[in-house]
Amino acid sequence: MFRQWLALEAGADPAERSGAVRRAHEAFLAGEAVGAPVRRLIADSWQRSARASVGADQVAPVDLVDDDLDAHRREHLLGRVMPLFRELLGGIAEEGAHLLSVCDEQGRILWVEGHAEVRRRAERVNFVPGARWSESHAGTNAPGTALALGHPVQIFAAEHYCRPAQPWTCAAAPVRDPRTRRVLGVVDITGGDHLASPHSLALVQATARAAEAQLAALLPATAPVRLLEVLGRDGALLHTGRSEAPVRLGARHSEIVLLLASHPEGLSGGRLALELYGERDVSPVTLRAELSRLRGVLGPLLASRPYRLTARVRTDRDTVAEALDAGDPSTALAAYRGPLLPLSEAPGVVRMRRQLEDRLRRALLARRDPELLDTWVRTPWGEDDLQAWEALVGALPPEAGAVPGARLEALRGAYGIGRPRGAGTPRSRGATFPQPPVA
């Protein structure tokens, strides 16, 4: 529903709501549970921010400056639609005392434009070109949370996780590559409480769709690209490459389409059953019934003898794997939205999930880039990765190691390293960590 993405319902008092959310935020920081009037998506974002070790009083770090920033702007696809952003949002930003900003897929601001006095105030919290406003670096905020959720969102006042950003209200929408549906970045408007209305969210969402339409006209024509999103999702999302809405697949259908997309040559009924059910004694009728229901969803895209997809379907897993093949862990990490179908227990899916995560981790550990390692350990799937924390501490200059070093020592203690045998350990992530001693 559109309503959950809006900060204020009709008739709500902004000052009263801001005060209530601010009290809830302080209670959350003190370790208390979060309830009404805090939206569920905000509570979830606060949890992600806390897990990423974002400080409640910190400001966004600046990643890109000078020539590096200029080069990134020139190369980024969103630069091609910046004139459109200015046409649709630039004028009203100047007149309405707020800002237009555009961020890349990693949450780094490429452009900030608008009212001069508002820009000066925004500079005090590092809302400037080159600053990184992803959730894992700046807490809950509209650009970062829109990227984390892949959906337009509005963030009001004290809903921001970091206190320096709480005087602001913002609305942001992701912009996707019309050919692959990969998120290119976000378009955002930021200002005062007057932006806490349905109109601001609708405006950025419409602007993002207009930008995608213009990119479709500007970019070289290609055959329709069918894309299956499976990273960080319990159920896959199938984009057909045409204008209609994507198809949301159930859990079993998600597994089947992913397995067939990964085996374009097709799979026999027996092999597909093995990939789905393992050694369990499952009747062939069960698989045939699942495929019959799936054919009702996919139509001629699903064929049999052997079971196969009649057109190529790319997956977001492919994007990560191809970046790793090219020796580009930065692009791979940016494209990795989380474990592949994380709730699936199908043996073939579990194997792909582990292989992809292991490849990405090994690439990050080998590169020893502190920025990439820092991004990894700030994610829910990397926050307890002891080896990554050790690599991060080793890659940082001595003066920057205090906070990561403290986190590293906490993890070493939790995993029983240097503790008495049998002292107890938390849940392990399998092969990701060295196994703790067994009493």
CA quadruple 25, 31, 33, 39: dihedral, nearest 10:
30
Assess whether pLDDT exceeds 90 at residue 255: yes
Please, are residues 411 and 384 in contact by the beta-carbon 8 Å criterion? yes
d(CA 206, CA 305): 44
pLDDT 10s digits, 389-425: 888 888 877 655 555 666 666 656 655 554 433 333 3
Residue 412, pLDDT score = 63
E-strand stretches of 62-209: 99-104, 109-114, 153-156, 169-176, 183-191
| pLDDT confidence of residue 423 | 33
List the one residue out of 439, 437, 376 whose CA is nearest residue 407. 376
Rounded Cα distance between 139 and 399, Å, is 24
Task: Report the half-sphere exposure of 424 (CA within 13 A, side-chain side).
Answer: 0
Give the model confidence (pLDDT) of 169-206 as tens digits. Answer: 999 999 998 877 789 999 999 988 777 778 888 999 99
- Between the two ends of the chain, the Cα-to-Cα distance in Å is 51
Average pLDDT estimate for 143-162: 93
- Would you say 178 and 225 are in contact if contact means Cβ atoms under 8 Å apart? no
Amino acid 337: pLDDT: 92
- If one counts every other C-beta atom within 10 angstroms of the C-beta of residue 360, the result is 22
As a whole number of Å, the CA-based R_g of the chain is 23
Peptide bond preceding 306 in cis form (omega within 30 of 0): yes
As a whole number of angstroms, the distance between CA 402 and CA 424 comes to 26
Query: How are beta strands 183-191 and 169-176 bridged, if at all?
Result: antiparallel
pTM over 0.75: no
Interval 353-363 mean pLDDT: 96
Q: What is the pLDDT of residue 179?
A: 77
Average pLDDT of the segment spanning 94-115: 90
Predicted confidence (pLDDT) per residue in 10-29, tens digit: 667 778 888 888 999 999 99
343 SS3 class: coil
DSSP string, 255-316: HHHHHHHT-TT-B-HHHHHHHHHTTS---HHHHHHHHHHHHHHHGGGEETTTBEESS-EEEH
Predicted pLDDT at 195: 79
Report residue 284's pLDDT band, with 50, 70 and 90 as the boundaries: confident
State the DSSP H helix or E strand holding residue 15, giving kind and residue range, or none if neither: helix 14-29
Q: What is the mean pLDDT of the chain?
A: 85
Question: How many angstroms separate the CA atoms of 361 and 79, rounded?
Answer: 31
Residue 357 has pLDDT above 50, yes or no: yes
